[in-house]
Amino acid sequence: MTRLSVNINKIATLRNARGGNVPDPIEAAKRIESFGAEGITVHPRPDERHIRYADVDQLSKVVTTEFNIEGNPMDNFMDLVFRNQPTQVTLVPDSTEVLTSNAGWDTVKHQSYLKDVIANFKSKGIRTSIFVDPDLKMIEGAKATGTDRIELYTEAYATGFAQNHKEKAVKPYTACAELAHQLGLGINAGHDLSLDNIQFFKENVPHLAEVSIGHALIAEALYLGLETVVKRYLELLK
């Protein structure tokens, strides 16, 4: 079964919009785990516009499933990860200006840099994953960095699925997953996955270890309830 890691950034966004601590991301993480999710993901950004560094420090003390911290490995981010020792760190090449992640790493161009960063994390026993576009060359480049896993950037799939081109949209992901598995890499995926498109993706992308879902899941929970939505994802991922 593919594991579900729930990204709780949007819960923090809602809290920050009003001030105070309602809703509380820490309590939300506890409840999401109690509903059956196998992981909690956060993506702290330098401006702390949703998840704050202090949230990460608190979450590392209470998350009992897998804890995944995503972000660009700048000095402050690396210090945060080393301090909290998550199960996994996912390297994402987002700049401070972007609203949300919009591209994977060029694992060929930045191979030397990524190799050094990953060696640092792995020396502390932290599993590493690289956010990549569904491109075979990027998968091969990721292997050369020493990473444990790749996370396939799934926005293109979600867009194609919504436009009724799901077979064409999923094809590059199938090929990349097959290659990654042959190379000994674990396979994660995330970005714009939803209740509508997750089952077809799961059925067509082999060896899928984990999906990280945040925006769609939290939006769906506004209509259906958080517990119901988490359990629906778990059922679809079986």
36 C-beta neighbours (distance < 10 Å), count:
14
Q: Report cis status (omega within 30 of 0) of the bond before 23.
A: yes
CA distances from 227 to 31, 41, 151, 195, 218 (A): 8, 17, 25, 14, 11
CA separation for the pair 39, 56 (Å, rounded): 14
The answer to whether 96 touches 45, Cβ cutoff 8 Å, is yes
209 C-beta neighbours (distance < 10 Å), count:
17
Q: How far is CA 181 from the centre of its chain?
A: 19
CA separation for the pair 184, 130 (Å, rounded): 14
Residues recognised as catalytic: 43, 70, 191
| CA count, 13 A, side-chain hemisphere, 214 | 25
Q: Which helix (H) or strand (E) holds 67?
A: strand 66-71
CA separation for the pair 4, 23 (Å, rounded): 22
